[in-house]
Structure 1
Amino acid sequence: MITRRTFNAALAFAGATAIVGTLPWKLVSSALAQEPAAIAKPSTLGDMSLGAKDAPVTIIEYASMTCPHCAAFTKDVFPQIKSTYIDTGKVRFIFREFPLDQVALAASALARCVAKDDSNKYFAIIDILFNQQAGLQNQAFETINRVGKQAGLTEAMIKACVQDDLTVQKGILADREYANQTLKIDSTPSFFINGTLVKGETSFDGFKKIIDPLIKS
């Protein structure tokens, strides 16, 4: 069983990482231009995506499992984007981890260990973790243990994921550093919508105003 000691030992791996903040409830388009190839570069562990690969619009979200605005987006906005655009072949949606703290890193690692290469399972797990965000903040190792077991992992598998084998965590942190240093991501949630950087959480209507012209163009 994972104890506080073993969980904290796993989290200590990220202790030297810088912690960046979250943006308030607003949409801010960045004037920074990024090379399309730099944005499209797949994550170290492989991108988790939903939707048609040839969709006219690609949305890339950078999020942290402990970010309340990210959780609100997942709960209140993403389902509408999925039903309106992803399920209809108009949008390809990619989720990339940008952990703001050690707990978010451990939760992201768990999602990767549970899903492996199954994007549908991955999105289901991050949805559960966002819904359990209060538990992550107050009882992190208990929450991760519980979610992992509910997803079919044994205690030994959970322990290996968040403590013994740091391959997944290293991949997530490498991608976080790339996003911060190369793509200038410094807050969550941040989105690239066909290459345009959009920071902060917004309403479905706000996304619709950006997406619809791109579909028609």
Structure 2
Amino acid sequence: MAKNNKNKKKEAKSSSAFIFWMIGLVAVFILAFIFLGNHSKQQEKTTTTKIDYSNQPYLGKESAPVSIIEFGDYKCPNCKNFTKDVVPIIQQELVDTGKAKFYFMNDSFINVDSTRSAKFAESVFQELGNDTFWKFHDLLYKKQPEDTKYEKMDVFTEAFLTDTLKEVASASDVDKVVKNFQSKKSDNAWQKDMDYAETLGVTGTPTIYVNGKKFEGQTIDDLKDMVEKASKGE
């Protein structure tokens, strides 16, 4: 996998398993993130990082007391599964109930597609706003190739990203985004995410943080408990 020009992450692979079942009306799920071959940081991150959530795409109510972040890569197969299978449950259990906001931040490290698609998505957010960003975000993951042989290949070209946006935005809006992207206006927003990923010590995707603390649990109850504690300042 390609090194990031700032974080210099080494080649990494990740695998994950998601097991879901229903108990009554409550959705309970296992979140098992197993990162095989991830490059470990030389130093553990022990300090608490204050995160600036302004100008970041999110799901939920602005008044929600807790902030959940997913660090993801648009070329990461596990992130695709997470978006399809897990985010809807987080939204139902924590976001729609007003307990938390759910943010997406970039940790683009797999190949050039990762960075290109992340910056393009940032341009979508800057020009067209939060709602269109999430439509594009979800559609881009749906279009991620199933065959892992494409992981290291350039698939998310500018033409591909532009055509994908055309499915959720008007021609004039697409033109605004393309001009933003080509003029590199989204670069700083993308770099802000990458800097947070480095500071927090993110070593693989998807990785979840709750109010700046890494989620280490495996079930929805673990996440709900962490959100509850965060709401109390614990």
Which residue in 2 is equivalent to 1:11?
A: none
Pick closer, same or farther for the CA change 1:27–1:104 going to 2, 3 Å: closer
* Matched residue type, 1:152: S
More strand as a share of residues: 2
Cα shift readout 1:28-51 (whole Å, capped 9, x = no counterpart):
8xx8544242xx2237xx211121
Q: Secondary structure at the match of 1:128?
A: helix
User: Which residue does the alignment assign to 2:26?
Assistant: none
Runs of 4+ in 1 over 6 A off after TM superposition: none
Which residue does the alignment assign to 1:8? none
The residue type equivalent to 2:69 in the other structure is I
Aligned equivalents of 2:177 and 2:64: distance in 1? 36
Q: Structure 2 unaligned segments of length 5 or more: list them.
A: 17-31, 35-43
Which amino acid is 1:211 matched to?
A: K
Partner of residue 179 from structure 1, selected from 192, 197, 208: 197
Normalised to the residue count of structure 2, the TM-score between the two structures is: 0.68
**Cα deviation, residue 92, structure 1:** 1.0
Higher relative contact order (CA 8 A, sep 6+): 1
> The residue matched to 1:105 in structure 2 has which SS?
helix
Aligned runs of 1:5-154 on 2, under 5 Å?
16-17=5-6, 18-20=8-10, 21-25=12-16, 26-27=32-33, 32-37=45-50, 40-42=51-53, 46-100=55-109, 101-116=111-126, 118-134=129-145, 139-141=155-157, 142-150=159-167, 151-153=169-171
C-alpha distance in 2 between matches for 1:96 and 1:81 = 16
Per-residue Cα deviation, 1:97-137 (whole angstroms, up to 9, x for no partner): 11123212221222222232622221111100000111885
In 2, Cα distance between equivalents of 1:171 and 1:188: 19
Separation (CA, whole Å) in 1 of partners of 2:177 and 2:62: 32
Given candidates 141, 144, 160, the residue that maps to 2:179 is: 160
Say what the alpha-carbon RMSD is for the aligned residues.
3.1
Q: Does 1:207 align with 2:220?
A: yes
Look up the SS of the partner of 2:214 in the other structure. Answer: strand
CA shift, 1:170, in A, is 4.0
* Percent of aligned pairs sharing the same letter: 22
Number of corresponding residues: 192
Query: Could you tell me whether the CA contact under 8 Å between 2:59 and 2:103 is conserved in 1?
Result: yes
